[in-house]
Amino acid sequence: MGKTPRQETRSVVCPMELRNDQIDKPTFVQMDPYTESFQELQLTDDEQRGVEASLMLNPIQAPIIEGTGGIRATHFALPTDSRGALHLTVHYAYYPEAGHIILADIWLTEEVDELTQLECARLKQLYEEVQRYLDA
């Protein structure tokens, strides 16, 4: 006998501000370091949607990190079933003219130290490469 397909139900709480079809919702692009870290942290699709929903509400709220050209750092506390609250730091860039949010990296907040000059330079290079691509 064949296996019965498992049905999965997910519920996502969406802020009222995002339920309006008149709001221009940005396109999210995950860079390789973000995707790799996301998988290593074993985050769920619901947790990803939580990060995206928060960024959609106010993508310019987080300050630009000095020396990165335009990369921002923001912090999230996402509720989880088994881990209480999961505290994450996300580096991202917002390109309003193109309607894109680039997700550069994500990790547990307690694992984050101050960025080195080399890390800032790499983030700046990423920001500028994406900007050139969008301008082309």
User: What are the pLDDT tens digits along the chain (136 aa)?
Assistant: 444 444 433 334 455 554 555 456 889 999 999 999 999 988 888 888 888 988 998 899 999 999 999 999 998 887 766 656 778 899 999 999 999 999 999 988 888 778 899 999 999 999 999 999 999 8
Which CATH number does the domain housing residue 41 bear?
Answer: 3.30.2310.20
Q: Into how many domains does the chain fold?
A: 1
In-domain check, residue 3: no
| β-pair partners for 29 | 102
pLDDT score of 67: 95
Tracing tokens 């101050």 back to the chain, one arrives at 114
Contacts of 119 (CB under 8 A, 6+ apart): none
In-domain check, residue 18: no
Q: Give the neighbor-by-neighbor strand order of the sheet with 27-30.
A: 27-30, 100-108, 84-95, 72-80
pTM for the model stands at 0.78
Cα angle 47, 10, 75; round to 5: 15
In-domain check, residue 79: yes
pLDDT score of 83: 58
Run of H or E residues at 27: strand 27-30
In-domain check, residue 95: yes
Residue 118's identity, in one-letter code, is L
How many Å apart are CA 78 and CA 8, to the nearest integer?
21
Q: Which domain holds residue 43?
A: 24-135
CA atoms within 13 A on the CB side of 11: 1
In-domain check, residue 8: no
